[in-house]
Structure 1
């Protein structure tokens, strides 16, 4: 007995150090028995309850709702049990079994968790189009805030269908002032997206929360400006009370006017903006538009008047790119060298090297690339270095240089492992997983992805791995990976990629099945931004499987939802995705119109990195020659890592030459 007691003590001591997240990881990768055993072996009651709750959530995400509910109900800690059952109810609702989801939610004795679970059920029901039932469920919620939140979700779903009268009516019944304001702002965006700008403005002006009213009017301003009614857009913008939102709206108008070619008027509007940062952003946008139009002599002086150092560097980078792309390489290089920020200067010289390489002068391009590398090496941030190397590795792999890509990815991983900040390390390792997958080492990529500690990055990285595996022809394994992903948006992306690959292999029946599954999962997503993007991906997969009529219907649904999205970044990306799906379906004229809308919206985005992401998404759709210009803008406005993989697909051999020039003398760290 003494030996048994000692052995039990050793087991308890060992189990005491097991992370509570580990059991859920086993459930996620398809081993629920082991997950539950490890969780139940934890000796600390609180840790055991927390681990079991996480296992129940993970099992529910895999689709085994019976077992998930069973596990959740065995948890002795009342709070954790309620939390786990609420998660199970949400998963069941997302899977489409709304009756059962509601039943589970109503068994919860904890008022807060019951309210949260019913709110999720109401949102899921609303997403399917059964708005009457969704509203009924929402109105039975006791908690005022959760009830308001659920009704706001129903409002958004109703607005997405075009029934703006009913959406406004529901929104106005909300007693919570902030939720009512948020719901009305969503209705404003949906109405504005349909072109009914006067009504959208009227609804916006009735919002009693000052910040939400200002934000809604700024959204209307952007929608009006996107249609070319710049004077009206400016008038609305100048009536906004909130100084920051007014400045942001005017900056968007200035950029829209500049994009339309009236550079003088755009600069005048920009210089009237009170907020220094927004004024700098607007002037940067004007300088970039002037440079893109070919007026390089005017672009550089405009950029130099910007007082904000980062925005000035951004505008000068765009000017340098435009000058280089236009063939005036001698002028582009001095412009790039005047930029004070090392990262921006390195980026500008890199872009000049790209332009020179595209012109055929590879020797000179290599010199510029080496200069850019030397400047970049002075940047000591390991997070940035790791992501930079990973992005280059991914791009080199896209260009066919798999061996070189593998070496760069290995170095990127070594650097990433030295990062002490957990969030930054996860972000860097996620980029490494993408690069390793692109380089062809799918097992290693999958290991890196599964070890990521944040659910969002893990799901995104696994989806990227699934895409790479599918593209390599291992369709069965791609499906297996896709089915372990718990995030619906990323799972849709992975299944759509598998459907594409299977269709390309000639098995259209199997591809159709995967595409249908992707569609079903996409329709469970309650967030309109994500649902529009997911449906667009599913539409492309359905088209690839040969069902163009169904693909067109899905694309239309995705477009309707996308046009209700308030966030310009997400709306631009969603519309670009729809354009891609429509292109696959063969309707090139409609695709061109959608891509043009996405580009216009992308230009209203205030965050440089987010704008670069949106422009890159549009470039994927439009193809050459327009894509070259859009990528040039993406390079100049945000991180140069964003458009690099796509650029490698457009000019693969130049990507190889660039990587060789920049990293040729850079030995792996284990060799140093």
Structure 2
């Protein structure tokens, strides 16, 4: 795909851009006037909507168009965004309507930041394409630019273009272009316009034709090239073989590859190739390996070669390619690049779907691609491509789709583990390509956007502004569908990279006025231009005042006041913070406490220590009146933070003594560490951090202090603090945070050590918990084998997994893994086995020292024990969980109870569970607990109790003002309403959820219920509103359970292409058990052996 803007090739990197490079000449001669005319067509308001550059073969059309796409004229910078497709037979699978749809969908999804749609039918994908074209054009117009579509080689469409069954690329080009979009097409005068293009279409308007004049350079190349083709075709056997293999392979073979296939001497091969290179053959550098590769120099040369050899000889050469490919099935490091990149496209074009499916299902091949590129983007793309090919069949091969789903899930899983800061390490040490592969491979869009922004910042700070801009533009696209918190993070990072215009653009797209105000203030603080920063601050204030929430207004005014003060406008800053304080004093006590605490710290930063002290005293009085433990703890955290800023540590220490809460003591030491680091007192910072008992808090403090020491140029202190931070991470075994240590090391200039740490992080994240993760999959496979009647193998596999789970020594993990295994194996292995496994899991749980984690671990054990029939022991475990909960710090006890309440419900202690739920103080967690009790009530047949609990949950929900915090509880309420049978109300509630992930879950639950009631069409319409792939897959599987086999197969096939293979497992077991056997064999084989 290709998306470019301006002459600096600022683009969304992709495989298709490399294909355009293979078409483009190294230098375009004598075409400056034509390039200028193309630019004028894009910009002139009175031109358009179409222009058709028409000329015979060998005129230089493709050279002109590819140069325009890769190196647009300078005046298009920031004013045009170009997407393109080059119809050509020289490159595999690039001359059909399907290829056109796929390539443009990929480009437009990158431009709009949306997920690539995986639709069951071609018509659906084409509808998606037209819809995306419209939205992309509107987005470009809103951003002050214009969408340009370039289609070259319209005459080379290999689809059916005549008669009533015509099915051409030209017919897909919209007749009415949206939002100022323009289309540039190029091709020969013949064949005529395809029959499926309507009479009114602009392509049939002769006035859009622009004749391209002959190029003497192109004519000379044509004459020499065709002459050489004839000579090679009639030459020695080796000359014929070289021509035949490169033609059959559709380009991309190196001289070494040709030596292996032909058995000829390398020097002789290179002599032949180099003697005609530039006319018959074009050389290109390999993308992943240094070897040069060869392809035919022009479409007409390729066509001539195909005519001279004939179909039979081409098939013979392709057979030799297959045999050669088979010799590399172990995928050693020396595997040729062609087998990783070009060969799959050849199989796609020639209909070798079975061979292609097997090829892209090979884990060893994808591991090699990861080693070469540093990411899994290419692997995931090729798997998705094959899934789409399988879905396009009349009857989808569910076995192949299931195997590919497992392969794609593996690739996505290892990318989900990629820390957002890790790609930036590679960028800082001078390896931006590896950084790009790693960042673009992150499957979750929010994390990908943050990673891309971090890479952009790293490149900007290391003196590579052009490369930085590329990544920042990608981050801007990726963040369009993100939650507001991610948008704020990305915008701040981009602003720090010196590209505030991009940051402001994405902040202004935030719909919530308060969040938008906070973002504008944060960006203003990073903008070097004071006038621009002041303008942003004024806009932030106006935005804050547009909101209806006084708490958000107060916090926004206080935040902006701090920024305005830094800019030097003290009078304005005092006015703003005064207004913020006045607004805060009208809030309820807890909200007032937090807002005034923030104001106290801002006053100190503005130089008003006395004002900050007075306000902190007021905050302390308010906090002392709070009775809710969570709120009281948070209120005194504000007091401690402000007291430290005022410089009165003794005051903060008194608060800690009076409250006697460990969480507050750690908070105080963290504040002392950060305050000392800001003052460059790194010895005090280190000492304060060393007294923090919570390992996560310890690491956060040390990381802050180390970064401050690096900025201050204190190399020795920085090294010591960084080493201490690394030790804290290794003690936690939180390997994602080790990436943050690598960032610190790179910032300090130790690139060798940073590289070693980055490699270690990648290895640890691949290896950590891999055995247990595979054990989870094996447990599911064992359960499936039992379902299809293979009990002996199921029991042996459960025994394998049991041995793995018993080796887990971390309490919370031991409990969770035992719960999963027992859920899968209870019916096969029996209650006695389950209770014995739980007893083994309890051993590491008893050794846990963190009350919060221990509370949740005991709750998991209790719930699982009850399900296994061990009710007396389950009661004891629940009591142990409640005992641990009494020692949990106030700020975390509410979240812990979300595990305890379901445990009580599983035990049958419904009244106790409801009492516990009502005692939860955090409104979101209380809502979740009440809904859990409501679901239990309706399952027990007590609809009245369910309704009462739902009503309580809704009251709790109304106290939550944050859309992000409301989303999860709302989705839980939707589930409860579905169980009650109130589907209309559930659907209405799902539509109010503003976080896409939770909204998708709500719609999925309702769609399944609609299908169960026979409303399958309505259910599918509802499901299609879901944009999250995993949730859409869940909805489709739910609908599939209620329709006939033919329809179900299409829905399940699409679900397998979208989500986890485990989602489809129940319906596969019920309807296609043979597919389960195929899937089980593949999963166990790919995970290092098993029972097959």
Q: Which of the pair is proportionally richer in helix? A: 1
1 or 2 for the larger relative contact order (CA 8 Å, sep ≥6)?
1
Q: Which of the pair is proportionally richer in strand? A: 2
Q: Rg larger in 1 or in 2?
A: 2
